[in-house]
Structure 1
């Protein structure tokens, strides 16, 4: 089965392509660097020719509210229209746990709009929601740094390894359309400040981490449980943060 992976050269997309190929599928990475641009539609018809499934793990190059909303809505409309023309029978979208809990978060609003487009489309779908990735700990810390202090919200996180997210997306693609949303999260819950502090210690980074009730996350102030899945709802992946840090340091 030919599966096209939109964003297939990125962190998650590259891993999904590899896993699909290991399972014997024809997996084709599609991204601007391979001549496919979902914003303009360039290359979509050609890459989707003969495809039966599409996995969309592309990310916006900008996190500014309007830019990210335009990216996810325009690119998703273009992609779904091209899929319908090509006879694609399964659309898999990667999304985020807790979208409805953060109405002031521009990035989350854009991803929720993307989900709604997928659900209203004629293409049978599967949506996989994931929590924050281990791999983004440094980027989060850098964005939250003032001088030598990292300020993050005093809320819960249940971060997950990118490898485990890719596996969940790959499994959804292979299983066929569920016409539903599933969730994947890491096996452990942390306070946001504990998560960042543990990473910085492992990297011998001397910055001080502070739990600040006014600290923002993607432009909004999250609540205690708005970034974690409801109890018993998510599939819990196997990679522990401590083990991931040990392998990556």
Structure 2
């Protein structure tokens, strides 16, 4: 089976390509640095030739409201049109748990627009909603920092290892389209402010974490359960404590 991975040279994409190849599939990494640009349409017709499945794990280079909306709308429209012409039979897209609950954020409004385009396209599809990656925990602290203070809401989240995300996306890609959403999450629930406070302290990071119920997350306020998956989510096996131990 030929599977084209849009964003195939990034964190998730590169792992996904490797996993698909290990299982005997023809996996093609498609990204601007391989000559495929979904914003302009460059290289799409060529790379999609004889492809059965397209997996979109690409991300916008800018999170500015207008730029990120343009990226997801334009690239998704170009991709879906090219897939229809090429005879692709399954479109898979990676998105985020809680996207529909984070619409104060320009980034998540753009992700919601992407999902709506896919659902309306008539293309058989599967959406994979993942929780926050272990690798991005420090990034959450960084986008929440003002001076030496990190302001975070006391919301719960269930982070996941990127390898486990790639594995879940791969299983979805080679299966039948679900024409709906699959949620994946890590095995353990944490409170964001507490976890990041502990993480920064363990790294001797001098920043102070302040618990603020109104602190925005990518521009949106969080309720306690905004970032948590539903009861039917697939739970990955890698624990954050084990991943952190390997990093050290």
CA shift, 1:213, in A, is 1.7
The answer to whether the 8 Å contact 1:182/1:234 transfers is: yes
The equivalent residue for 2:81 is 81
The equivalent residue for 1:42 is 42
Q: Which runs of 4+ in 1 moved over 6 A?
A: none
State the Cα deviation string for residues 123-157 of structure 1 (Å, max 9, x = none).
Answer: 21111001111111111212222232211111111
CA shift, 1:201, in A, is 3.3
Equivalent position SS for 2:38: coil
**1:195 pairs with 2:195:** yes
The answer to whether the 8 Å contact 1:37/1:44 transfers is: yes
The equivalent residue for 1:219 is 219
**1:142 pairs with 2:142:** yes
The equivalent residue for 2:175 is 175
Q: 5+ unaligned residues in a row in structure 1: which ranges?
A: none
The equivalent residue for 1:108 is 108
**1:245 pairs with 2:244:** yes
State the Cα deviation string for residues 82-105 of structure 1 (Å, max 9, x = none).
Answer: 000001011110011111212211
CA distance in 1, matches of 2:112, 2:220: 15
CA distance in 2, matches of 1:209, 1:136: 17
TM-score computed with the length of structure 2 as normaliser? 0.97
Structure 1 residues 204 and 246, CA, compared in 2 at 3 Å: closer, same or farther? farther
CA distance in 2, matches of 1:50, 1:201: 51
RMSD between aligned residues:
1.1
Equivalent position SS for 2:36: coil
CA distance in 1, matches of 2:229, 2:42: 37
The answer to whether the 8 Å contact 1:8/1:57 transfers is: yes
CA distance in 1, matches of 2:113, 2:15: 25
Q: 5+ unaligned residues in a row in structure 2: which ranges?
A: none
TM-score computed with the length of structure 1 as normaliser? 0.96
CA distance in 2, matches of 1:140, 1:103: 18
